[in-house]
Amino acid sequence: MKSFSTSFLSGAAIFSAVSALATAQLPVEKRAAIDGLPSGGVVSNGVAFGFLPSDGYQVASPVYTMAQINSKLGVKASTYGWYAQITSSTFTGSQLLQRLDDVVASGAVFQPAVMPTIPFSQVTSNVASQVASVLEQFTAKGVEVWLRFGHEMNYYVTDGTYHGTAAEFITAWKNIHAAVSTNPKIKMYWSPNVDTSSSPVAPYWPGASYVDIVGVDCYPTSSPLPSSAFSSCYGTFYKTYSAAYNIPFVIGETGYAGSSGNAAWISQLVNQDMCEYLNYNAASWFEYNKEANFLIVEGSSSILSSAQQLLLHNTKTGCAISTTTGSTPTTLATKTASTTTNTTTNKAASQTGACTWGCNGWDCSASSPCNADYTCMSGYCH
C-alpha cells in the first residue's frame, strides 16, 4: 500500500490470490534466520513485530514517530517501515533521511519501500548507486536495512504508479542489488502484492540468487474474518518462494480495518503453528487511518489493549521440534526472532509397552515431554 493513495482488493481477490502458484517445496531442516533484528524488540510466538507509522500525507492520521508508538505500546517495535519514491534520475532520499534520527533511536530494522515512479528502464546503475548511498547513511549508524525496492510491483504496474515490463523490473532490481551488495547490513526484500490473474507475481521473480527476504502484502477485508485468512493470504506464496528456497519470510505490511476484526487478524499473524511457517520471521502493521482506520496503537484504548495482550503476553514461543528416538535425550529448538535456544530433557522409556502418559496425540512441550516411544512435534506427541 503506497503512501499517497490506497487501493483495496476485494475479499475474493485477497483470499484466492495465492492459489495460482504451485512449486514443489524442498525439505527445510532449520529456520532461515535474518541478521539484525533487535534483541529488545517485540517478539510474539517467534514473530518480530513492527509498524509503518503514518506519514500524515493526505490521510486522516497525523504523522507518528516510532518513539510515540513505542511509548504507547510499552515496548520497542522490531521493524520500521517507511515510503519513498524515485521520481527522476536524481535520488536524494529526503523522504527517508527525514526519519533517520527516529529510525536510529528506535533500534528497529528499517524497511524502506523505495518506489520507482520513473520507468523501470530508467533505474540505471547510476540511480541504484544513489539509492545505496542514501541507505549507507542508515547503516553507518548501525541500522539494519531490509530494502523493499519496487514493492507491490505486480499491482502498481496495473494502476499506473509503476511503468514497464516484468523483464525491465528484474533488470532494475538487479541494478539495485549490485549497488547494495557490498553492504552487509542491507538485505534485498522482494515484496509483491497478492497474486491474481490480472496482476501475477511469477513474472517479477528475480531469482533466489538476487533475493535475501521474501514477503507479500495482503490486507484481508472479509467480515467476519475467517480463521483461514492467514493461510489464504500467505500459504501458497510461502511454499513457493520461502520454503522452496529456504529464504526468510517477512510480512512487509498488512492491516485490517474495523474494531471487529483487527484483533482477530493480529492474533492470526502471531499465533500460527511456527513449525509450518518455519521461515516466518517478522510482520509489520500499517499504522494509518487512510480511507479506512487501520490504527491499533494510536487508535482506541480497547484496540490498543487487545494488541498489547497479543503482542506482549503471548504464551507461545515459536516452533519446538523434538528429535527423540528411544531413550535418547530430546533437544527442543525454540525459535524466537533470529535466535535459537536449546533445552535437553531426559525421558524414561515405557516399561510395559502400554502407553499411559505422553502418548500419541497428547499435548507436549519442553516441560511436558512425550513418552520415549513418541516424538513431540508442533505441540503434540506423535
* 234/161 Cα distance (integer angstroms): 24
Question: Which has more confidence, 258 or 240?
Answer: 240
* pLDDT, position 36: 84
**Grid coordinates given for 61:** 492520521
Confidence of residue 341 (pLDDT cuts 50, 70, 90): very low
**Grid coordinates given for 281:** 520471521
Phi, psi angle pair for 342, to nearest 5°:
-115, 140
Q: How many of the other CB atoms lie within 10 Å of CB of 312?
A: 14
Catalytic residue, chosen from 253, 276, 287, 298, is 253
Confidence of residue 297 (pLDDT cuts 50, 70, 90): very high
Question: Which has more confidence, 273 or 359?
Answer: 273
* pLDDT, position 382: 47
The whole-model pTM stands at 0.79
Pairing of the two strands 320-321 and 330-336 = antiparallel
Q: How many of the other CB atoms lie within 10 Å of CB of 378?
A: 14
* 192/198 Cα distance (integer angstroms): 13
* Domain boundaries 43-313, corresponding CATH code: 3.20.20.80
pLDDT per position as a tens digit, 73-122: 999 999 999 999 999 999 999 999 999 999 999 999 999 999 999 999 99
Phi, psi angle pair for 110, to nearest 5°:
-90, 130
298 is catalytic: no
Confidence of residue 346 (pLDDT cuts 50, 70, 90): very low
E strand intervals along the chain: 43-44, 47-53, 79-86, 109-116, 145-147, 186-190, 213-214, 249-254, 280-287, 320-321, 330-336, 339-345, 376-377, 380-381
* pLDDT, position 322: 41
* 25/310 Cα distance (integer angstroms): 31
Pairing of the two strands 43-44 and 47-53 = antiparallel
Q: Which are the contacts of 187, defined by CB distance < 8 A and separation ≥ 6?
A: 34, 36, 144, 145, 146, 147, 212, 213
**Grid coordinates given for 242:** 520461502
Strand order from edge to edge, sheet including 320-321: 339-345, 330-336, 320-321, 376-377, 380-381
* pLDDT, position 260: 73
> Lowest-pLDDT range, 249-263, 289-303, 351-365?
351-365
pLDDT per position as a tens digit, 42-56: 999 999 999 999 999
* pLDDT, position 357: 54
* 2/113 Cα distance (integer angstroms): 9
Start-to-end C-alpha separation, the chain: 42
pLDDT per position as a tens digit, 199-241: 999 999 999 999 999 999 999 998 899 999 999 999 999 999 9
Q: Provide, rounded to the nearest whole percent, the portion of the chain with pLDDT above 70.
A: 75
* pLDDT, position 32: 76
For the chain, the maximum distance between any two Cα atoms, rounded to a whole number of angstroms, is 76
For residue 134, pLDDT beyond 70 = yes
253 is catalytic: yes
Q: Which residues of 251-280 are buried (b: 16+ CB within 10 A; e: fewer)?
A: bbbbbbbeeebbbbbbbbbbebebeebbbb
Catalytic residue, chosen from 152, 168, 287, 298, is 152
Q: Provide, rounded to the nearest whole percent, the portion of the chain with pLDDT above 90.
A: 71
